[in-house]
Amino acid sequence: MDAGIQNQLDDFIRRMGLRRTGQREIILKAAFSHKEHFTAEDLLGRVRIIQAAISRATVYRTLALMVEAGLLREIDLGDEQTTYDPNFLDKPSHNHLVCIDCGRVVEFEDAHIDLLNDCVTRRLGFKPLRQTLKIEANCEQLRLNGRCPNLIATRLSGKRLRKKR
């Protein structure tokens, strides 16, 4: 994990008159230990591997704190779960493409998209702050070759495709 992230949270904590605690440090580390998106429960799982004694409530509270501090963003991948994305620090305006076939999520940036959305927003009389673009698409490889390499990987990993319930 980038040390700068720790500093950013510390800054936020200081600015808001909050406290640095061991729990917050561990939860932060857990949240940024991977590039993958995660749910609250995922994060609790990671945290419990590092140190078992942290409560679910604290994880939820720290999650809200990290979102508030701008370190994390909630994203909607369409699978009915509240998902957190730790990659907005590195790529502040990235977008998501979700493969309908395998559930794989591709993150991508595109300056043209950003620019165009900016123009459209201004034309509507607003000053753009942030945009959220999700593209759902089919895997072209699956259509051409009859199989999607990611589909197999996804199944092996036991990850859910779409709907949870």
Whether 137 and 98 have beta carbons less than 8 Å apart is answered as yes
Residue with Cβ nearer DNA (83 or 154): 83
Q: Which helix (H) or strand (E) holds 49?
A: helix 40-50
Minimum CB–partner distance for residue 31 and DNA (Å): 13
Q: Is 1 in the site for its own copies (CB under 8 A)?
A: no
Cα end-to-end span (Å), the chain: 33
Distance of closest approach, residue 1 Cβ to its own copies, in angstroms: 27
CA pair distance 46, 40, nearest whole angstrom? 10
- CB 101, CB 142: distance < 8 Å: yes
Kind and range of the H or E run holding 96:
strand 95-99
Contact mark string toward its own copies, 73..112, x via CB under 8 A: ---x--------------------x-xx-----x-x-x-x
Q: What is the spatial distance between Cα 151 and Cα 132, in angstroms, rounded to a whole number?
A: 25
**Partner that binds at residue 129, options its own copies, DNA, none, CB closer than 5 to 8 Å by kind:** its own copies
Q: How far is the CB of 42 from DNA (least distance, A)?
A: 10
**145 is a site residue for its own copies (CB under 8 A):** no
What token pair was written down for 3?
């040390």
Contact call for residue 124 and its own copies (CB under 8 A):
yes
Phi, psi torsion values for 116, nearest 5 degrees: -65, -45
Under the rule (CB under 7 A), what is the footprint of DNA? Answer: 13, 17-24, 39-41, 53-58, 60-62, 64, 81-82, 164-165
Under the rule (CB under 8 A), what is the footprint of its own copies? Answer: 76, 97, 99-100, 106, 108, 110, 112-113, 116-117, 120-122, 124-141, 143
